[in-house]
Amino acid sequence: MALIITDECINCDVCEPECPNEAISQGEEIYEINPSKCTECVGHYDTPQCVEVCPVDCIPKDPDHVENHDQLYQKYLQLSQA
């Protein structure tokens, strides 16, 4: 399951540099996560790094992009070959 940044985001800029897949970017109003690049840090870390550093807890799992651990790992492998 990819992650999503909710409108509670305060644009503190700490999540974007933590993403090993460069899935996070500045949107029109708040930061956004590209679900095709988000692996919840599977393949890189044990926990999603953006969630770890977020001071307002605004990065839940995205119910519109449900993926299991194996699917996230396969996405990681595809992204790391690109």
> Is residue 82 over pLDDT 70?
no
Tokens for 26, please give them.
């500045």
Residue with tokens 């870390």: 45
Asked, for residue 36, whether it belongs to a domain, the answer is: yes
DSSP state of 40: T
Mean pLDDT of all residues belonging to the chain? 96
Evaluate whether 49 touches 19 at the Cβ level (below 8 Å): yes
Question: How confident is the model over 52-69, as a mean pLDDT?
Answer: 96
Asked, for residue 30, whether it belongs to a domain, the answer is: yes
Secondary structure, 3-state, 35-69: CCCCCCCCCCCCCCHHHHHCCCCCCCECCCCCCCH
> Is residue 47 over pLDDT 80?
yes
Asked, for residue 57, whether it belongs to a domain, the answer is: yes
pLDDT given at position 29 = 95
Asked, for residue 9, whether it belongs to a domain, the answer is: no
40: domain CATH number is: 3.30.70.20
Domain count across the chain: 1
- What is the domain range of residue 58? 16-81
Question: How confident is the model over 40-53, as a mean pLDDT?
Answer: 98
Tokens for 31, please give them.
């930061």
Asked, for residue 3, whether it belongs to a domain, the answer is: no
- Could you report the per-residue pLDDT of 17-37, keeping only the tens digit for each? 999 999 999 999 999 999 999
Tokens for 60, please give them.
């839940």
